[in-house]
Amino acid sequence: MTALRRLLAATDLSAPARHAVERAALVARAVGARLDLVHVAAAFSGVDELRRLVASLPADVEQRVREQTQMLVEALAGSLRDRHGITATTHVVEGGLLAGIEDTAAATGADLLVFGARGSSTLRHVVLGSTAARLISRSTRPLLVVKRMPAADYQRVLVPVDFSAASLPSVQLARAVAPAAKLVLLHVYEAPFEGQLYYAGVDPQYIEEYRQRAWEESQARMGALIADAGLPPDAATSVFAHGAAPHRILQQEDEDDCDLVVMGRQGQTRLGDMLLGSVSRRVLAESDGDVLVLP
């Protein structure tokens, strides 16, 4: 993916969801994309229970609820227009959260989905709960999880790369979402079966030699990745770290004060790192900044 043409931001009208909408507006403005807002209402099911308990409930209460919800979403769009000069199209749909978001994304042709990390309703589960796992696992679009209220465009973006097929798209998407940001390309390496070699009593000299060769190979592959991505010389910094991937990713995010981490949901190395596996899940849960997950 080299360009973003249309973004879809989901909102449950809570304050954390407002963070996601604000970030979506900033990204849309920076890259010249169109913006859509979607609010998924659970078929206004609570009205039936309320009508059962309150006999004098007006007959048109459900319609009033719909109209009020639409007004709130449109007011949110109006605030984005006033603050950022972005005109957002609004969508209020009924039904399940996943289906509502996916159907709207398909209808609008969204290139990127944007969510808040927490919310006042079922949207709070988008990041760490089963909804997140299902949405990320079946989505064909990148998902941007917003964790804090944005103050400006992204400044520093951390892109962990393992030189799998997902690495180049990760770098390209980072540039598409944050065209003016400095990229930090991080490769965390560990010699295969290194732990087992230590336990087997292999001479540390041979393990260190193995590790040195892995580092040299990583440097060569990083250079090739940067060339393939067409990055200017001053657009990215390369960092090589030895150790456990989740820990080093979170550490690098903190050291470089990155405000976005771009993660491929699959890698080439460990079975446990596949499809929202241990690395992606921990970074989503513990990172301070936003996280962008590739499909």
Query: pLDDT tens digits for 202-252?
Result: 667 766 777 788 788 889 999 999 999 999 989 999 999 988 889 999 999
- Structural domain contains residue 180: yes
Report the predicted TM-score, pTM, of the whole model to 2 decimal places: 0.83
DSSP secondary structure string for all residues of 175-212: HHH-TTSEEEEEEEE--TTHHHHHHTT--HHHHHHHHH
- Same domain membership, residue 164 and residue 111: no
- Same domain membership, residue 188 and residue 264: yes
- 27: amino acid identity, one letter: V
Taking 70 as the threshold, does the pLDDT of residue 164 lie above it? Answer: yes
Average pLDDT in the chain? 82
- Structural domain contains residue 225: yes
- Same domain membership, residue 165 and residue 98: no
Q: Which residue has the tokens 């241990």?
A: 278
Tokens matching residue 91: 């969508």
Point out the domain boundary residue: 146, 169, 199: 146
Q: How confident is the model at residue 266 (pLDDT cuts 50, 70, 90)?
A: low
Query: What's the Cα-to-Cα distance from 6 to each of 33, 34, 210, 294, rounded to whole Å?
Result: 5, 5, 46, 16
Alpha-carbon span 26 to 154, nearest angstrom: 9
Q: 27, 6, 19, 10: which is closest to 179 by C-alpha?
A: 27
Query: pLDDT tens digits for 46-72?
Result: 556 555 556 565 666 667 777 888 999
If one counts the domains in the chain, the total is 2
DSSP secondary structure string for all residues of 53-76: H-TT--TTHHHHHHHHHHHHHHHH
- Structural domain contains residue 56: yes
- Same domain membership, residue 202 and residue 109: no
Point out the domain boundary residue: 101, 121, 146: 146
Q: 162, 264, 167: which is closest to 217 by C-alpha?
A: 162
Range of the domain at 263: 156-294
- Structural domain contains residue 151: no
By percentage, how much of the chain surpasses pLDDT 70?
Answer: 75
By percentage, how much of the chain surpasses pLDDT 90?
Answer: 51
- Structural domain contains residue 38: yes
Residue 17 maps to which CATH number? Answer: 3.40.50.620
Tokens matching residue 208: 């260190």
- Same domain membership, residue 129 and residue 15: yes
Tokens matching residue 13: 């009208």
Q: Which residue has the tokens 């973006």?
A: 157
Query: pLDDT tens digits for 104-152?
Result: 999 999 999 998 876 444 444 444 444 555 676 677 899 998 988 999 9
- Same domain membership, residue 15 and residue 127: yes
Alpha-carbon span 75 to 37, nearest angstrom: 11
- Structural domain contains residue 173: yes
Taking 70 as the threshold, does the pLDDT of residue 76 lie above it? Answer: yes
- Structural domain contains residue 1: no
- Structural domain contains residue 73: yes
Query: pLDDT tens digits for 189-206?
Result: 865 566 666 666 666 776
Q: How many beta carbons lie within 10 A of that of residue 277, not counting itself?
A: 15
How long a stretch of residues is the chain? 295
Locate the DSSP E strands across the chain: 6-10, 34-41, 88-94, 112-116, 143-146, 156-160, 182-189, 236-242, 260-264, 290-294
Point out the domain boundary residue: 146, 178, 211: 146
- Same domain membership, residue 279 and residue 207: yes
* Consecutive H or E run containing 3: none
